[in-house]
Structures are given as structure tokens and as C-alpha cells.
Amino acid sequence: MKLVFKKSDLANAVNIAMRAVPSKTTMSILECILIDATTNEIKFSANDMELGIETAVKGEIIEKGKIAVEAKIFSEIVRKLPDNEIHISTDSNLQMNITCEKSKFNIPGRSGEDFAYIPMLEKDKFIYLSQFNLKEIIRQTIFSISDNDNNKIMTGELFDIKDNILKVVSLDGHRISIRKLELKEHFEDTRVIVPGKTLNEISKILTGGNDEEVRIFFTPNHILFEFNDTMVVSRLIEGEYYRIEQMLSSDYETKITVNKKEFLDSIDRSTLLVRDSDKKPIIITIEDGNMELQIKSNMGSMDENIFIEKTGKDIMIGFNPKFLIDALRVIDDENVTIYLLNAKAPCFIKNDDESYIYLILPVNFNANGR
């Protein structure tokens, strides 16, 4: 095999494929990237048996071939080579030679036949949307998945397609994030749970263009994303997702509208007094025209007031400040509307057409010890 690449094209392809290389595995072949130049195009692949990525690479094929190479060392070599043309060749002993200007590396390869190939999927059931929309939907929901593998379903996001609407849901037991997007065409109803890890990696690869399309294919056990000469295949999470509709009450006793930036900045300042290990709530007191935010910890206390528009009853309620910050940071509106029922019931942050909904559970607090 003899190949020639521009440094930038090679480095970009390696970075994409590396996202499916496991950090720990008992199968050494999974630590490799497969370089396949047996056809008229060059493809790089990696596969950790849950997530597989294949991407086409710009380059010149002088002599066809295929080899698997240890991903970490290959990635580091490519990253540190000069910004010039890179020549890669292999010999009959599966040794890989990498040459760029005056730099020459020789590293061992492995037979490409040993590589765990990415499964070929049926492409009957699919939707498509812009890269921008998919990247935004992931950004606006991914923070509220659970990182606890004891509850596998909470480590993924629900993709629910019904009546031409894509609804994406994540939850971790303390909050729920929902984003809805109207699709351009009618697609078959589908309901699957996509691993959060897969979505995290995809969001890092997507360029996020409004004019660039992502096609998403569904099978009973897998999901496939195709975009920019890249294919990402992931196993789905098995099981039934939580029926969240019963949690999304429209009842409220208090409704407020507040400038998002003012509210976010105030909560952000309050966390200066809270260590990560502390679980100090921020106490919010809502009265006509005014929201008072207070926090008290061993490091000190903060008290701040913000102008609001309010309808309904006065209320005092406590929240984990991080949960409020996470939701507010991903909302792009200048003002946000918050709905509250009582100090024990969840609050809802949502817009009029409910294209986004964030449910956050309150926390108990001692009103006298504010």
C-alpha cells in the first residue's frame, strides 16, 4: 500500500475515527484504526463494538492495500508531523512507513482482516435534518443525561418521531430536557433510545452548517448517521423509555418572565460561594416585579434582586443552582418564561410553542437558615 495525504486532510480523518477508539479494552484490535484503500477511495474506520465510525479521506492512492494500525501512536505521529505532504506505505511484513519532509517513522501494523468491521445496515427507515439543527438539539439536551451506568436508559436520549415532529428527551432523575423540531417531510413514526456517548461524539464531528444535511437511519438495534463523507453507527439502548407525559403538567400558580442573561449571571455569581462537594440550594423569592436570589454557605452569602414580570402568587422555592445554569445556558431567547406551582413541585422553563421544555425539581431548604 502506498498513499499520499495533505497533513490537514489526514489529521482531520484521524481525529474523526479516533472518537470510536475505546480508551480501555481487552481486545487489542479495537485499539486500531483500519486504513482501507482497496477501492478507489481511502476510508478510515474505528469500532468499539458499541460505536463505529467510518470516514472517507482525501488522498492519492499509488498502490492499493489495507492495514490496521494502533490508533493512539498513529494519531500522535500525524499530529506532530510538519504541515506538509505525508507519505504512508506498508510492506509484506505489515510494517508501516510514515514520511514527511525529513521525518521518518516505522511502526508495526496488523492485518486488516482481523479488524471488527462496522455492520452494514438496511437504509429503509430514515429522517433527515440540517447539521445545525442536530448539533443544537444535542447541545440543548445532552447535559441532563445520567452518567450512572446502573440505569442504562437514563444514559441515553429518546428520539421520538411522531406526526412529523422530532422530539428529543433526556433526564437524570432530577430534571428533564425536551427539544422539539418540525421535520420538512413526513416520516414514519419511530421511538428509539440513543446512547449519550454517541450523541456527544457526533456533536464534536458535525460542522454545524445550516445547508449541510444529516441522514439518520433506524433499524431495530442500531442507528446510523451519515454526513460529510462520514458514517457513524451505534447500538441503540434496549428498553422502554419513561413515559414523561404525566410529568408535564400545565398547571401553575405563578408565571414569571425574566431577562435570561441577568438571571443566569446572578446564579453564576452565587456559585462562587459553593464548592462542588456542597449541596447548597439557591433560594428564590418571587414577589410582584421582583425576584430575590439568596445563597448561603460556609464561604459566605449572596443576596441579589432582579426585575421580573409576574402573574399569580408569591412563592419561595429552592433549586440546585447548577441545574438552572445548565438549562439557561442553552436557551438562546433574550427572555425566559418560568412556570411554578408550589415549593415542592417542579418548575418549567419553556417558550410559547414548547419547542423547548426544561423541567427542574426543587430542593428542600430551611427558610429560617437562608
255-285 per-residue burial string, b: 16 or more CB within 10 A, e: under 16: bbebebeebbebbeebbebbeeeeebbbbbb
Question: Does 2-114 match 125-245 in CATH topology?
Answer: yes
Q: Give the architecture (CATH level 2) of 248-369.
A: Roll (3.10)
Q: What is the pLDDT of residues 142-161, one digit of tens each?
A: 999 999 878 999 999 999 99
Q: What CA–CA distance (Å, rounded) separates 214 from 208? A: 10
Q: Give the architecture (CATH level 2) of 2-114.
A: Roll (3.10)
Q: What CA–CA distance (Å, rounded) separates 282 from 206? A: 36
User: Domain-by-domain residue ranges, the chain?
Assistant: 2-114, 125-245, 248-369
Q: Are the beta carbons of 17 and 2 closer than 8 angstroms?
A: no
Q: Give the architecture (CATH level 2) of 125-245.
A: Roll (3.10)
The answer on pLDDT for 286 being more than 50 is: yes
Q: What is the pLDDT of residues 4-58, one digit of tens each?
A: 999 999 999 999 999 999 988 888 999 999 999 999 999 999 999 999 999 999 9
The answer on pLDDT for 369 being more than 50 is: no
Q: Are the beta carbons of 284 and 366 closer than 8 angstroms?
A: no
Radius of gyration for the chain, computed over Cα atoms and rounded to the nearest angstrom: 25
Q: Give the model's pLDDT for residue 370.
A: 45
Q: What is the pLDDT of residues 74-97, one digit of tens each?
A: 999 999 999 999 999 999 999 999
Select from 331, 353, 340, 160 the least CA-distant residue to 243: 160
Q: What CA–CA distance (Å, rounded) separates 80 from 101? A: 12
Q: Give the model's pLDDT for residue 209.
A: 83
Q: What is the pLDDT of residues 298-332, one digit of tens each?
A: 889 999 999 999 999 999 999 999 999 999 999 99
Query: Among 8-12, 109-113, 262-266, which stretch is predicted with the lowest mean pLDDT?
Result: 109-113
Describe the strand order of the beta sheet including 347-350 as a list of residue ranges.
190-195, 156-162, 165-171, 175-182, 356-360, 347-350, 335-340, 254-259, 309-312
Q: What is the pLDDT of residues 221-238, one digit of tens each?
A: 999 999 999 999 999 999
Chain length of the chain: 370
Q: Percentage of the chain with pLDDT > 70?
A: 99
- The overall average pLDDT reported for the chain is 94
- What is the biggest distance separating any 2 CA atoms in the chain, rounded to whole angstroms? 80
More confident residue, 348 or 276: 348
- Residue 28's φ and ψ, nearest 5 degrees, are -65, -30
- Pairing type for strands 315-319 and 175-182 reads unpaired
Q: Are the beta carbons of 32 and 69 closer than 8 angstroms?
A: yes
Q: What CA–CA distance (Å, rounded) separates 259 from 270? A: 17
Q: Where does the pLDDT of residue 367 fall: very low under 50, low under 70, confident under 90, or very high at 90 and above?
A: low
Angle between helix axes 321-329 and 260-270 (nearest 10 degrees) is: 140
